[in-house]
Amino acid sequence: MSEPRMTLHEKMLGHGADGEQASVILESLLMAQIALVLARLGVPDLIAAGPRPVAELAAEAGANADALGGLYEHYGKHPEEAMWFGRAMSRVTGTMVAELAASGFRPLASGRIVDLGGGRGTLLAYLLGADPGATGVVFDRAEALAEAPQVLAGAGLGGRAEFIPGDFLREVPPADLYVLSQVLHNWQDDQVRAVLGNCRKSGRPGNSIMVVELMLPDGPEPSLAHIMDLIMLTTLGGRERTRAQHEELMAEAGYRLVRDTPLARVLPWRILEFQHQPG
């Protein structure tokens, strides 16, 4: 007998009687809005004869390829809302960390670990716990870091962690390992290039980057990553990417893929580890 279908929100946040009902409502509303927008753009008529390239459909439907964001600017002005958003994201990260722990995952690189956009420090706490010789930095906007010290202290790791406010689109602290967990999908390619360029410039010799993202499949197959791709486009102007697209962006910055670890029991997460290649 096959397992009952879980909604996107249940997979991210767990499920219970109330949570299941709420997640069904949320996902149903999302799907209804998707159908409404597609109908208004006339996309069903445009693909009636068969599949067509997305860029071609967007041009013919008069759809904008990018979307406006402004979410982080809003949270910068409303720190209380930023705190609740951070807690929600930390819960998603906690689900992912449970998967990491169950698989026994440890990154190939060690030393000084800088978690870019690390929020409350949930993932860094796991990485430091798995690597007793490492030290860490949670690097994020000031309002996003508000609860990170108590999270690391609660895990008994406060003495091995720093908390540095900043903007990774401008600069990043020196590191042996940069962690970009569910961060790159917030941004368009040019902004991702800026982040990676800052890692290349500030990173220690031979530094590594660990990317954790929902990975789009290479072909036209069903995946929850497609739903998240749409969410990122409409909320932040970002996007999910295939492994090949990640590799291409990383190669431009001088990084080469050294390990690909699927973590797909709950969501189609993948962990891509890259190392900087001098010259």
What amino acid positions are annotated as catalytic residues? 185
Q: SS3 for 76-91, per residue?
A: HHCHHHHHHHHHHHHH
What's the rounded Cα separation, in Å, for the pair 59 and 272? 33
Query: In the sheet that 161-165 helps form, which strands lie side by side, from edge to edge?
Result: 161-165, 135-140, 112-116, 177-181, 208-214, 269-276, 255-263
DSSP β-ladder status, 135-140 and 269-276: unpaired
Token output for 267:
């969501």
What's the rounded Cα separation, in Å, for the pair 118 and 249? 21
What's the rounded Cα separation, in Å, for the pair 69 and 16? 32
What's the rounded Cα separation, in Å, for the pair 116 and 105? 19
193-221 burial, b for 16+ CB within 10 Å, e for fewer? eebbebbbeebeeebbbbbbbbbbeeeee
